[in-house]
């Protein structure tokens, strides 16, 4: 069992990161294209027309790509890199993760609240535990993520998790198995990479212990 409790049957196509030079599954990369005005545009959904330029989902890689002229080199033409591109990508990715969790909630695949989450964990309905990065460590250690890899998301703040559930703040949440859960885990892992230098918590690894 892999992401979100789903069995992975297809191979993820690979792409080369322009910053690290490494070839890896594109699920761990962020796609960019050059817009009509010659400006670099993030393409989080991978649907914009044009030749894709791929960068690993990490702040270090994006900083290097933006600051070293690597987008122009990859595009084989001069391109404009917007000021604050990395922060903009992080904000866009945050919104995407929040929106995906909200969709999972509407589909009955996501719940929040300590007692409800605890119940799902005990019954085995939960395949991913979500906890706010700024929540109390003492409170968070009372719950343990399901066994296996990619079963814990801790990259969102209480306010961001709250947005996904239509509340002011949420500390504990859980996801059941399903396609939306797979997407939440994948995108949360990218967001974790973008926040790795500013206090971001790990996402996607079941490392929580009691």
Domains in the chain: boundaries = 14-86, 88-194
pLDDT at 12: 75
DSSP 3-state of 49: coil
88-194 homologous superfamily = Ribosomal protein L30/S12 (3.30.1330.30)
Cβ atoms within 10 Å of 13's Cβ, excluding its own: 8
Unique residue bearing structure tokens 């990065």: 133
The C-alpha angle with vertex 71 and arms to 68 and 76, in degrees rounded to 5, equals 115
pLDDT at 119: 98
Confidence of residue 11 (pLDDT cuts 50, 70, 90): low
Q: Can you give the pTM of this predicted structure? A: 0.85
Q: What is the pLDDT of residues 133-191, one digit of tens each?
A: 999 999 999 999 999 889 999 999 999 999 999 999 999 999 999 999 999 999 999 99
CATH architecture of the domain with range 14-86: 2-Layer Sandwich (3.30)
Task: Return d(Cα 187, Cα 95) in angstroms, integer.
Answer: 10
Confidence of residue 1 (pLDDT cuts 50, 70, 90): very low
Cβ atoms within 10 Å of 199's Cβ, excluding its own: 10
Q: What is the pLDDT of residues 59-89, one digit of tens each?
A: 999 999 999 999 999 999 999 999 999 999 9
Handedness of CA 116, 122, 128, 129 (dihedral sign): positive
- Which of 42-56, 58-72, 189-203 bottoms out in mean pLDDT, i.e. has the lowest? 189-203
């Amino acid at each position: 069992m892999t992401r979100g409790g789903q069995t992975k049957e297809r191979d993820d196509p690979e792409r080369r990161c322009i910053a690290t030079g490494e070839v890896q599954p594109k699920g761990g990369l962020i796609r960019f294209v050059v817009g009509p005005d010659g400006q670099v545009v993030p393409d989080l959904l991978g649907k914009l027309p044009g030749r894709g330029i791929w960068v690993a989902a990490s702040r270090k890689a994006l900083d290097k790509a933006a600051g070293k002229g690597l987008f122009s080199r990859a595009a084989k033409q001069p391109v404009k890199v917007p000021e604050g591109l990395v922060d903009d990508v992080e904000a866009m990715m945050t919104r995407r993760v929040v929106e995906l969790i909200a969709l999972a909630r509407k589909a009955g695949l996501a719940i929040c609240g300590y007692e409800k989450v605890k119940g799902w964990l005990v019954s085995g309905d939960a395949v991913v535990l979500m906890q706010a990065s700024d929540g109390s460590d003492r409170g968070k250690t009372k719950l343990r993520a399901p066994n296996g890899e990619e079963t814990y998301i801790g990259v969102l703040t209480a306010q961001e998790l709250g947005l996904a559930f239509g509340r002011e703040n949420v500390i504990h949440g859980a996801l059941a198995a399903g396609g939306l859960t797979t997407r939440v885990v994948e995108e949360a892992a990218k967001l974790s990479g973008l926040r790795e230098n500013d206090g971001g918590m790990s996402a996607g690894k079941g490392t929580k212990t009691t």
